Structure 1
Amino acid sequence: MKKTRWIRTLSILVLLCTLTAAGAADLGLAKEKKRGSVVQTGIERLLENPKMLNGKKVGLITNPTGVTADLTHDVDALLEKNIDLVAVYGPEHGIRGTEQAGSAPGTYEDPKTGLPFYNLYGKTPEEIAPMFRDADVILFDIQDVGSRFYTYISTMAYAMKAAALEDKPFIVLDRPNPIGGEKVEGPVLDPDYQSFVGIYPIPVRHGMTVGELATLFNEQFFEKELGKKVDLQVVQMKGWKRDMLFDETGLPWVLPSPNMPTPDTALVYPGNCLFEGTNLSEGRGTTRPFELIGAPYIKGWEIADRMNRLDLPGVSFREAYFNPTFSKHAGQNVGGLQLYVTDPDKYDPIRTALSIMVELKKLYPNDFAWRNDNWIDKLMGTDEVRKAIDDGASVDKIIAKWQKELKAFRQLRESYLLYR
């Protein structure tokens, strides 16, 4: 009798385990199907029908983010399709993504494919143009992060101008804006502050894809600067919607640069990159760059308490302490904040960063300082923000000053949006 009960109990347990495992497997399959079916990028759509490249020598501008949904790199995917790839070009951080900010490797032969790898970073359109002469057409496929001062869109613009100078067609293989395509925030660049971290009058958070930006640049600026436009084509995505954040696309995240490890980093970057222009660490040299902000003179509990009392929408703060392994305050114990975005729809990265700066200026008036090269002005695209903070202006007053230009940009961008 006891043996019969034991066998019956064992059978029930085996059945329950089997059902649970099957359910988990089905759930995993459902998640996998969802992950792989939401957005199709420009490179994947091109590979489905690569006829536009038939008989052409192709140059490719890319970096580690140039991958298909199954993580095959563009270089390998194009070669598998027997595309005549003759050269590969890289932006800041290099084609392989090995270099820190402000760096890129020089020209070398790729040991895997034997192709020449060229560095475009730090070169003018006139210097880039001769590098395109062996190609009949130039492809661009790099994941942007949605902020004006992230230099890949500047590299794209320079490469487009170089292609125009050489009469080469330029094809942008579009990718999602990882922080969404609806919000447009921050000051519009004043042309007096033009630099490689801001080459055209667009706001800090532009809310556009690289394909949309390429179209805007070509139509709005190239005619005036070059006397002609580039022969531009954008291979559009399929399935992307403007309100999507990156984790809703089903695409794999590949680090666009060494200090952009996750989509969460990209979300805070439009605001917290501005701390590059101060004497605070923006978290470089930690495992949470741009989410950690601090300096040796800051008492974490003081600034965290002040920031949480402001009750800013969509974000919370905790006091944090860290010791950067490189960049600002390397090897020193640093006090400050870690940001936690609680609601991406409500979170305003630029308002949040400005609020931190204003509070730090009040707390530590003799310690908080701008970088002496006024880098903050280049990042902001204006000197008005720095001056307003120094004068004790409120965040609301600072933001109000750029609303007219921001409204004009919103109207301008409407003509160049490819996804509705």
Structure 2
Amino acid sequence: MLLKVFKNTVLFSIIISISLVTFSCGQRTEQARKNVLKDTLALNDAPSTNRTLLSENKNLNVGANKTQDYLPLLQGKRVGIVANQTSVIFKTKRSKASFLNYTHLVDSLIAMNVDVKKVFAPEHGFRGVADAGEVVKDGLDTKTGLPIISLYGKNKKPTAEQLKGLDLIIFDIQDVGARFYTYISSLHYVMEACAEQNIPVLVLDRPNPNGHYIDGPILEKAHKSFVGMHPIPVVHGMTIGEYAQMINGEHWLTNGIQCQLTVITVDHYNHQLPYKLPINPSPNLPNAKAINLYPSLCFFEGTPISVGRGTNKQFQVIGSPKFKNEGFPFQFTPTTNAGAKYPKHDGEICYGYDLSEYKTLDGLNLEWLIDFYNKSQTLNSETPFFTDFFTLLAGTQSLEKQIVAGWSEKEIRASWEAGLTAYSKTRAQYLLYP
């Protein structure tokens, strides 16, 4: 009967009638159940801060929403979930304006009697409030009573003990399509750990807001790190479900092992479809413009240049206090805020560019990087422009060497062509969408 209901409605009509459902999730308390219901109703009535008009991408149906496809896979299973604040199931609500409403996947599945045992949290944490690079600690989710296991810091890969007693892992996190965005590194380690313990992985797919192009140098094995684990370009042009298939198919897990993988796809999605994220994927990607600029501006994280952390235009402004007399048209002052506890150049006036009104990018922009490097060389500064972290972000030493040698953006791009051509052929094998 339950599956029949899901074929005709989304999960939430059941959640609103939760008082009719028997709640029996192991040791979870009645108070935890009430917390889930309270938060579900609160989200439905909350202000529209994190909602987007249904007129945008109204036909898309993300993997998490297709409960009829994956609830049968969860029956009788002890489930672990890799999730953050983007792991939600959407519902529509008609009013004077049509908005997207949602409840968290974890809360929703608990309400539907799925035996959720624990949550695994990536960078920025389960509820998505931790700063970039900040250690995410283990703990308990106050809303559900579930144990939370951090997958950021020293423990990036789930241990056998942490997976003990689980029959299946759900991975549901919104990605933004850049190699150095660490959620795909977490995906790798989850798949690897589950393959070693013979635990199936279920990926609930979501669109890639930067899925309309591929670009950048291919990562070299010598520069593998958590901000780049695989031989792919900076912008990989895949959804997280497609990327999971590539990890498996290319035998990138240790010793070439493969995990038992199921992907619940997105309905009506294609790679050229613009997609505005209804929920910020991390604290310093607050809007569509920041997400579009992120692959180009993240290179500056390996330089003395601020990308606007500590302002209200994160990844939309770039600058440095050193450029006061360099004729830049814009200035900003980073200060400590909720998404940046220790922003670069905290309290100092930075001079540079405001890119918040810049055109939508269909490829990496290197002009800003080259421009700032060249201007930095005219200053008497003991601070090197490129750090070791820049090489990890680029995935190669070549980009730094090319900029230092005075190569133009066109010349640098030409050096990427062979790698991108080969990658395109590999990528085509794993695409789930046109």
TM-score, structure 1 as length reference: 0.82
The offset of 1:264, in angstroms, is 1.4
1-structure distance, mates of 2:373, 2:363: 16
**Residue range with higher mean Cα deviation, 64-73 or 137-146:** 64-73
Residue in 2 that maps onto 1:61: 82
* Aligned with 2:223 (options 193, 198, 216): 193
How many matched pairs?
Answer: 368
1-structure distance, mates of 2:83, 2:124: 11
1-structure distance, mates of 2:321, 2:123: 30
Mapped contact 1:297–1:367 kept (Cα < 8 A): no
1:231-250 pair list within 5 angstroms: 231-247=260-276
Mapped contact 1:47–1:81 kept (Cα < 8 A): no
Residue in 1 that maps onto 2:257: 228
Residue in 2 that maps onto 1:149: 180
The offset of 1:384, in angstroms, is 0.9
**CA-to-partner distance for each residue in 1:210-230, whole Å, 9 max, x for gaps?**
00000001110346x234210
Residue in 2 that maps onto 1:116: 147
| Moved >4 Å (runs of 4+) | 123-127, 361-368
Aligned to 1:204, what secondary structure does the other structure show?
coil
Between Structure 1 and Structure 2, whose CA radius of gyration is higher? 1
The offset of 1:147, in angstroms, is 0.5
**Residue range with higher mean Cα deviation, 118-127 or 136-145:** 118-127
**CA-to-partner distance for each residue in 1:5-61, whole Å, 9 max, x for gaps?**
xxxxxxxxxxxxxxxxxxxxxxxxxx9553473211111113565111111011000
The offset of 1:356, in angstroms, is 3.4
Mapped contact 1:360–1:368 kept (Cα < 8 A): no
Give the direction of change, closer, same or farther, for the CA distance of 1:76–1:417 in structure 2 (3 Å limit). same
Mapped contact 1:42–1:174 kept (Cα < 8 A): yes
Q: CA RMSD in A?
A: 2.2
Residue in 2 that maps onto 1:215: 245
Mapped contact 1:161–1:222 kept (Cα < 8 A): no
Aligned to 1:117, what secondary structure does the other structure show?
strand
Mapped contact 2:213–2:363 kept (Cα < 8 A): no
2-structure distance, mates of 1:162, 1:101: 24
Residue in 2 that maps onto 1:357: 372
Residue in 2 that maps onto 1:409: 423
Residue in 1 that maps onto 2:302: 277
Letter in 2 for 1:408: A
The offset of 1:338, in angstroms, is 0.9
**CA-to-partner distance for each residue in 1:129-170, whole Å, 9 max, x for gaps?**
321112100000001111000001000111110000110000
2-structure distance, mates of 1:365, 1:81: 63
Gaps of 5+ in 2: 1-51, 91-100, 337-341
2-structure distance, mates of 1:124, 1:295: 34
Mapped contact 1:125–1:161 kept (Cα < 8 A): no
The offset of 1:277, in angstroms, is 0.6
The offset of 1:66, in angstroms, is 0.5
**CA-to-partner distance for each residue in 1:215-252, whole Å, 9 max, x for gaps?**
001110346x23421001111010112112223xxxx5
Mapped contact 1:370–1:376 kept (Cα < 8 A): no
Residue in 2 that maps onto 1:130: 161
Q: Is the helix fraction higher in 1 or 2?
A: 1
Gaps of 5+ in 1: 1-30, 305-318
TM-score, structure 2 as length reference: 0.79
